[in-house]
Amino acid sequence: MRFLITGYKGQLGYEIAKCLLKNGDEDIIAIDKDDLDITDSEKTIKFITEKKPDIVFHCAAYTQVDKAEECEELVYKVNVLGTKSITEACKKINAKLFYFSTDYVFDGEKNGLYKETDTPNPKSVYGETKYLGEKEVLKYEKSFIIRISWVFGINGHNFIKTMIKLSETKKELSVVSDQIGSPTYTVDLANLLIEMLKTDKYGIYHVNNDGYCSWAEFAEFIFKETNKDIKINHVTTEEYLELTKTKQAYRPRNSKLCKEKLINSGFSMLPTWQDATKRYIQELKEKGEC
């Protein structure tokens, strides 16, 4: 099979390419924005239809949540129009499409877990454009929409790396405790995607590591595993914004995603977020980054 990965320099794209190679798949076309501007519809459709991949992992996206509020037109072009072109190209060559969405498609006001069938209500430019991207992908029957959250991987920036960096100069940190969700380790997700691509069980899936935590609890676990003596002050989102004097895009308070559909479809559950974090920290140590 031939694989195409967009946004391969990001955390997830990088890991998918690595996982495919490890799996013995070598016909991989890995591209980033320097290789193809997905906002150029004509070029995008031409590129994909000429390369004729069997599977497309569409990881490219505008993901800077706060900056997105200031450049809505660009974010729309990347996350919606880019996704539309990729979907149209996949339809032309009958390729399976994987699109990666986010917990930000929900407003976070529900009590309990969010199911795939719950109506999205995004409250940020990022969330809105990812949801509109979902709508484009849903027009094509051979597509998987994978909603993920709190992603961390070896290639790129993430919360764990930020916490470790801050621990070099800080002994006390204020971290929000009223946003609850599940971290997603790219290694675990990539392995599951290899399992999913062999099937035709298309549709929307919620996928992240098992269990839930707040950002503050996540930070405490990171410092416990890295043997750092850092005091974590649990604060509300409002308190954090007041303390830091920053303006942020809206973030859902409840990002608990239900994974029943994943289980009912016969797919593997990802390990707990604690287990994933331990393995990731070990990976960082082996690379001399921790």
Catalytic residue, from 14, 126, 131, 240: name it. Answer: 126
| Mean pLDDT, the chain, whole residue set | 97
In a domain, 280, yes or no: no
CB-based burial label for 112 (10 Å; 0-12, 13-18, 19+) = exposed
Question: Two tokens at 172?
Answer: 């006390």
| Rounded alpha-carbon distances, angstroms, from residue 113 to 8, 134, 147, 228 | 31, 20, 14, 33
The answer as to whether 130 is a domain residue is: yes
State residue 70's pLDDT score: 96
Please name the residue that has the structure tokens 């994987």. Answer: 98
In residues, how long is the chain? Answer: 290
- 126 noted as active-site residue: yes
Its domain, for residue 95, covers 3-158+183-209+257-271
Say if 188 falls within a structural domain.
yes
Does residue 171 lie within any of the structural domains? no
With 90 as the cut, is the pLDDT of residue 290 above it? no
Distance CA 239, CA 261 (A): 36
**Helix then strand then coil, % of the chain, to nearest 5:** 40, 20, 40
Q: What pLDDT is stored for residue 178 in this prediction?
A: 98
Q: Say which CATH number the domain at 15 has.
A: 3.40.50.720
**164-197 residue pLDDT tens:** 999 999 999 999 999 999 999 999 999 999 999 9
Q: Is residue 43 part of a domain?
A: yes
Distance CA 71, CA 191 (A): 34
> Which tokens belong to 183?
């971290």
Q: Is the separation of the CB atoms in 230 and 169 below 8 Å?
A: no
User: In DSSP terms, which residues pair with 6 in a beta bridge?
Assistant: 31, 58
Q: What is the pLDDT of residue 172?
A: 97
Percent of the chain at pLDDT > 90 equals: 98
| Burial class, 264, CB count within 10 angstroms (exposed 0-12 / middle 13-18 / buried 19+) | exposed
The C-alpha atoms of residue 195 and residue 64 are separated, in whole angstroms, by 29
pLDDT at 73: 98
Compute the average pLDDT of residues 21-46: 96
Residue 160, amino acid = I
Which helix (H) or strand (E) segment is 90 a member of? helix 82-93
Evaluate whether residue 276 is within a structural domain. Answer: no
| pLDDT tens per residue across span 254-285 | 999 999 999 999 999 999 999 999 999 999 99
pLDDT in tens, 193-248: 999 999 999 999 999 999 999 999 999 999 999 999 999 999 999 999 999 998 89
| pLDDT of 77 above 90 | yes
Q: Tokens representing 193?
A: 């995607």
For residue 239, is it within any domain? no
* Count of structural domains within the chain: 1
The C-alpha atoms of residue 90 and residue 96 are separated, in whole angstroms, by 7
Q: Tell me the mean pLDDT in the region 116-145.
A: 98
Mean pLDDT, residues 21-44 taken together: 96
Give 110-136 as a DSSP string: -SSPBPTTSPP---SHHHHHHHHHHHH
**CA-closest candidate to residue 211, choices 195, 188, 235:** 188
287 domain-assigned: no
Q: Kindly report the number of other CB atoms within 10 A of residue 38's CB atom.
A: 25
